């Protein structure tokens, strides 16, 4: 131990209190419940509706409901999610019996539900693929092709 010269340093009461507050409020496994799910896109066919829910780095049960007029739940699906599943989660439901403009998507994760109108996230079609290349291609030479996929 090294000898101490000079006045004795004052104890840092504030630092200990701040450390204790940090330690008591540090995130534990249940901290992932604070993440909020977000319905980002969906598409509808004659026999099903598919929704994409964004919920990055979360662990717990994610439930998605299709809610019609007067708060009636027409469909519900629940799944356990973990960070290893990735940030995007796909949910499929059967065909709707009510018009899409009268349906709300309700995402439940933790205690607070998040709702969005289905019509605001519904794509016109599932995707559109475009392939672009030069007009002339010659055997034995290199060529570049660009393929892109977009939601419409």
Q: Please say if the pLDDT value at position 149 is more than 90.
A: no
pLDDT score, position 115: 94
Its pTM stands at 0.62
- pLDDT of residue 129 exceeding 70: yes
**The predicted structure's pLDDT at residue 105:** 95
The whole-chain average pLDDT of the chain stands at 79
pLDDT in tens, 67-92: 999 899 999 999 999 999 999 999 99
pLDDT tens for 32-68 read: 445 789 998 888 888 999 999 999 888 999 999 999 9
Question: In the prediction, which pLDDT does 31 show?
Answer: 41
**Is 144 in contact with 133 (CB distance < 8 Å)?**
yes
């Amino acid at each position: 131990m090294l000898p101490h010269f000079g006045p004795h340093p004052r104890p840092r009461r504030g630092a200990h209190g701040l450390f204790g507050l940090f330690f008591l409020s540090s995130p534990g496994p249940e901290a992932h419940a604070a993440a909020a799910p977000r319905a980002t896109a969906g598409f509808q066919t004659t026999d099903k509706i598919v929704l994409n829910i964004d919920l990055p780095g979360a662990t717990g049960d994610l439930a998605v409901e299709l809610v019609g007029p007067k708060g009636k739940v027409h469909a519900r699906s629940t799944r356990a999610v973990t960070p290893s599943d990735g940030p995007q989660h796909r949910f499929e439901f059967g065909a709707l019996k009510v018009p899409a403009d009268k349906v709300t998507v309700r995402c439940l994760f933790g205690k607070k539900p998040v709702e969005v109108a289905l019509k605001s996230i519904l794509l016109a079609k599932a995707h559109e693929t475009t392939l672009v290349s030069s007009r002339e291609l010659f055997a034995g030479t290199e060529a570049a092709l660009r393929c892109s996929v977009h939601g419409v």
